[in-house]
A and B are shown apart, each in its own frame.
Chain A
Amino acid sequence: MYKYFLRLLASVLLLLGFSINAHAEFKVGFVYVGPTGDHGWTYQHDEGRKAVEAAGIKTTYVESVPEGADAERVIRQLAQSGHDLIFTTSFGYMDPTNKVAKDFPNVKFEHATGYKREHSNVSTYSARFYEGRTLLGHMAGKMTKTNVIGYIASFPIPEVIRGINAMTLAAQKVNPNIKTKIVWVFTWYDPGKESEAAQALIDQGADIIMQHTDSTAPVQVAEKAGVWSFGQASDMQRFAPKSILTSIIDDWAPYYVERSIAARDGTWKQQDTWHGLKEGMVAMAPYNSAMGSGLVKEVEKLQKDLASGKAHSFTGPIYDQQGNLLVAEGKVADDGMLAGMSVYVKGVEGDIPK
């Protein structure tokens, strides 16, 4: 009994000492859904973390954390071990983040791509990837010969549907004859299935391949088949040097640095951030010169206009597949409509899986 008590005392003291020690320094924690070397989504988040580290703030990260019960355990662990700010970087961490936030009011939480801010210490942030899709659509509309654009989609959530619509609208503007063909693969990450989907689309006449999945398999299939493609999340150019016209790049670094410094200096406030080309959270990889300098200039101009607000990805008139008016002429879609987007625009083939 005595021995047991002594051991307990020792461990309590140790824990106490650890937590006091831990609180001496400001620390930022990151939770990733994939491995840092996935060359896509998680890779880009880790680049952001490195920028925070470079700004002189200590960081730690936990990678390949499954969404669900494990996530809550990991987030709680980070909160307990003296982290002052925690970034949770996948949609599925939404509920665990809010749950842990309730128990640690002094720790700040930042959840990526979610919408729940149940406690005053939870912020959310995401990027306007659809602005990048608009640029892709413009290039696709100009470059296609078969007028068929192939699109590999992951899950039927507003984020993905928004991308499909933004791309289609932009492509129609420069080429009214285009059709968007979509294959749903119901995964973020299965190179075998993604490449089969790409091949199926090419066989169906698509000469442009676009993906909302994370592996580099589709661009490699496109390279082999001699059709055009676009990279996703990070610059995939070296996987398909001839085929890739550009990649949409997620750049989280400035946001992570800004928020970390704010938290350290005590100026951090709850907010909902949705940044795009203007702030640089969405960036474009170098354009492939194979599309000709004229088109490159056009796209660069469009990119500038989107960034300055002169152009908007969803400018009316916009109709849905049945021909109902969604956005009136001369108006642009507001953020509420964009966030909940759940119908295809005119020109997209097929139905959204329910």
Chain B
Amino acid sequence: MNIDINFLGILIGAIMASSVPLILAALGELITERSGVLNLGVEGMMIIGAISGFALMVITDNLFLAIIGSMLSGLLLSFIFGFLTQSLLTNHVATGLALTIFGIGLSAMIGKDFVGIPGKQFPLLFVNLKEAIPFFGPIFFGHSIVFYFAFLLPFGTNYFLKKTKIGLIVRAVGDSPVSAANQGINVLLVRYCCILYGGAMCGLGGAYLSLIYTPQWIENMTAGRGWIALALVVFATWSPLKVLVGAIIFGGITILQLHMQAMGIRIPVQFLSALPYIMTIVVLVIISRDSRKIKLNTPTSLGQIFYKEK
């Protein structure tokens, strides 16, 4: 194979596109977890986002509505989770798992009539520049608006958590809800907002799959990406920028191993299939081995039930 520079650019562009759903879902979950709530329903919210987005696209023929609808449906599902864990004080882990199972089942039921309908081409931006500039063109241009949003989001999230007052409040609630409550912060409100935001982002991540990446609806089409996103948050030690690195490595090796197969490199295929998982963990463990920094980022009250003493 002859590696020409433009091909390399196309490859990098493809890798970045494949990591978009992971970035969105993981960063949504990151905010939820930073407020001290562990929502294991990521996969369920993603798949609901995927089917709602696709169904709305078919019914209304409007991609903007479809994107908004997918976020709202993820938000709605996370509201159920929020109500159960925050207002009824149920266990986070059990409720989250139930949410995933519920989401997968519900999406299959809604999706019954939408199987086998071809999707619509999502508008891509800067297509001219993609062709015009070698190497950098295919990396940075000719993508959907959601793609650009996803790659700005880690920086925005980082800024939000570190530099803004509301970010500080979210972190305070996650570290010590009791102290935060004593400071007059409405812990429930903050946590509800973070849960709903997480749900909306997961819904968007799912819609990216069904509307942009592989424009169609197929049962269980998220295929475990929600779980990968959850793992990314933990291995990235709750740091938005490391989530970005992890998502790109995972997407990158998934695609590279397919290319290596197509090139005929003689490595056992099963090993290549396992490689994305192994490499992502290894790299994230290496870049986050500073235990002091981990402590700084880990929400101390993660997954604990909080109720206000009267």
Chain A interface (Cβ within 8 Å of chain B)?
Answer: 34-35, 37-39, 43, 64, 150, 181-187, 189-193, 195-197, 199-201, 203-204, 206, 215-217, 220, 238-239, 349-351, 353-354
Q: Does B14 touch A at the CB level, under 8 Å?
A: yes
Chain A: CB-nearest residue to B2: A205
Chain A: CB-nearest residue to B220: A189
Q: Does B286 touch A at the CB level, under 8 Å?
A: no
A192–B209 Cα distance when bound, in Å, is 8
Pairwise interchain contact B255-A196, C-beta atoms closer than 8 A? yes
Cross-interface CB contact of A196 among B108, B225, B258, B263, cutoff 8 Å: B258
Chain A: CB-nearest residue to B251: A196
Q: Does B285 touch A at the CB level, under 8 Å?
A: no
Given contacts A35-B108, A35-B115, A196-B258, contact A191 B18 (CB under 8 A): no
Chain A residues whose CB sits within 8 angstroms of the CB of B261 once the complex forms: 182-184, 200, 350
Q: Does B10 touch A at the CB level, under 8 Å?
A: yes
Pairwise interchain contact A196-B221, C-beta atoms closer than 8 A? no
Chain A residues whose CB sits within 8 angstroms of the CB of B115 once the complex forms: 35, 37-39
Chain B residues whose CB sits within 8 angstroms of the CB of A206 once the complex forms: 262
Chain B residues whose CB sits within 8 angstroms of the CB of A189 once the complex forms: 218
Chain A residues whose CB sits within 8 angstroms of the CB of B262 once the complex forms: 150, 181-183, 200-201, 203-204, 206
A216–B10 Cα distance when bound, in Å, is 23
Q: Does B269 touch A at the CB level, under 8 Å?
A: yes
Pairwise interchain contact B219-A35, C-beta atoms closer than 8 A? yes
Q: Does B100 touch A at the CB level, under 8 Å?
A: no
Distance (whole angstroms) from the CB of B55 to the closest CB of chain A: 14
| Contact sample, A vs B, 10 pairs, CB 8 Å cutoff | A38-B115, A39-B115, A43-B116, A191-B221, A192-B213, A192-B214, A193-B223, A193-B254, A196-B254, A200-B258
Pairwise interchain contact B273-A186, C-beta atoms closer than 8 A? yes
A185–B262 Cα distance when bound, in Å, is 11
Chain B residues whose CB sits within 8 angstroms of the CB of A200 once the complex forms: 255, 258-259, 261-262
Cross-interface CB contact of A239 among B14, B118, B264, cutoff 8 Å: B118
Pairwise interchain contact B112-A35, C-beta atoms closer than 8 A? yes
Pairwise interchain contact A196-B18, C-beta atoms closer than 8 A? yes
Chain B residues whose CB sits within 8 angstroms of the CB of A183 once the complex forms: 258, 261-262
Chain B residues whose CB sits within 8 angstroms of the CB of A37 once the complex forms: 112-113, 115-116
Residue count of chain B within 8 Å CB distance of chain A: 36
- Binary interface profile of B, 129-157, with partner A (CB < 8 Å = 1, else 0)? 00000000000000000000000000000
A43–B264 Cα distance when bound, in Å, is 34
A349–B221 Cα distance when bound, in Å, is 30
Chain A residues whose CB sits within 8 angstroms of the CB of B184 once the complex forms: none
Chain B: CB-nearest residue to A194: B214
Cross-interface CB contact of B213 among A34, A35, A195, cutoff 8 Å: A195
Cross-interface CB contact of A351 among B7, B259, B266, cutoff 8 Å: B266
Question: Which residue, A181, A182, A196, A350, has most C-beta atoms of chain B within 10 A?
Answer: A196
Chain A: CB-nearest residue to B268: A353
Chain A residues whose CB sits within 8 angstroms of the CB of B214 once the complex forms: 191-192, 195, 215, 217, 220
A201–B216 Cα distance when bound, in Å, is 21
Distance (whole angstroms) from the CB of A231 to the closest CB of chain B: 12
Chain B residues whose CB sits within 8 angstroms of the CB of A35 once the complex forms: 108, 112, 115, 219
Chain A: CB-nearest residue to B263: A204
Pairwise interchain contact A203-B216, C-beta atoms closer than 8 A? no
- Since A64-B219, A204-B1 are in contact, a sample of 18 more A-B pairs with Cβ atoms closer than 8 Å, ordered by chain A residue number, is A37-B112, A38-B218, A184-B269, A187-B223, A190-B221, A190-B223, A191-B216, A192-B221, A193-B254, A195-B214, A203-B10, A203-B14, A203-B262, A206-B262, A215-B214, A216-B116, A217-B216, A353-B270
